[in-house]
Structure 1
Amino acid sequence: MNKQEIINIVKTKASDKIQYFENLIAETRASNNDTKSSMGDKYETGREMLQQEINNLQRQLNEVLNQLTVLQKITSDPSEKVQNGALVKTNKGLFYIAVSMGEIVSEKQKIMTVSAESPLVKVMYGKKAGESFTVNTIHQTIENIW
């Protein structure tokens, strides 16, 4: 498995999300400016709702920026145990431990990207190939680690 390719796919996905949120924030700000009027409270409420939406989008953008910062620190060096940057194959699937970006496809294989803070990773953290663990009554065995 090419871990550098996986890192690049996840970074691209994060960059795309950043661009998406930046565009959405800009569009929402523009529509917020359009609602300025002296018509009274009805428009003030509308502007406040748009401001809350901008704040929510900004929070999501900051989260993705933080994820990109985490990704910048991860190397493609091989791993012998489950840790940040490890690609882990269990009998249930492939997991890339870095940030939570959902499912990606590399070399025609589906890989679930998961954060080191996820319950799954917390249980398997530090384990080596051949070891087993259970999460939510689902028993898994680690087959390989890259």
Structure 2
Amino acid sequence: MNKAEVLATVRTKILEKVQNLEHLIAETRASNNDTKSSMGDKYETGREMLQQEINNLQRQLNEILHQQSLMQKLSSEPCTKVQNGALIKTDKGLFYISASVGEIVWDSNHIMTISGEAPLAKAMMGMKPGQTFSVNSTHQIIKEIW
């Protein structure tokens, strides 16, 4: 398993999310500036709704930027136990503890990226190959760790 390429793929996905959110914020701000009207309350309500949307997008962007900063700290060096930055193979699938960006496909392998705060990651944190854990009554065996 080439963990460096998996790490690069996750970093790229996060960068794409950052760029997309920045673009959406810029577009929403531009439309907020374009809503000049003499309609009184309707105008203020529309402006407030746009401002709330900008605030929501900004919160999402801040979370993604936080994930991006966490990703910069991760290494592609092999791990001997489950920890942040570990790529884990269980009898149920492949998991990469990094940032939660969903499933990625690398070299025909489906890898689920999960945050270190996810219940699944917490359940297997610190474990080594051969150990078992359970989440939601589903038992899994750790087969390999990279």
Normalising by the residue count of structure 2, what TM-score does the alignment of the two structures yield?
Answer: 0.98
- Runs of 4+, deviation exceeding 4 Å: none
Give a deviation string over 1:46-105, Cα, whole Å, max 9, x none.
Answer: 000000000000000111111010000000110010001100000110000011110011
- Give yes or no for the alignment of 1:118 onto 2:103: no
Residue type of the alignment partner of 1:47 = R
Q: Distance in 2 between matches of 1:43 and 1:136?
A: 49
Size of the aligned set, in residue pairs, is: 146
Q: CA deviation at 1:38?
A: 2.1
The percent of aligned pairs where both chains have the same amino acid is 66
Q: Distance in 2 between matches of 1:139 and 1:7?
A: 27
List runs of 5+ in structure 2 lacking aligned partners.
none
> What SS does the aligned partner of 1:123 have?
helix
CA RMSD, 1 decimal: 0.6
Give a deviation string over 1:15-55, Cα, whole Å, max 9, x none.
Answer: 00001000000110111111122220011000000000000
Q: What residue number does 1:30 align with? A: 30
Q: Distance in 2 between matches of 1:133 and 1:9?
A: 28
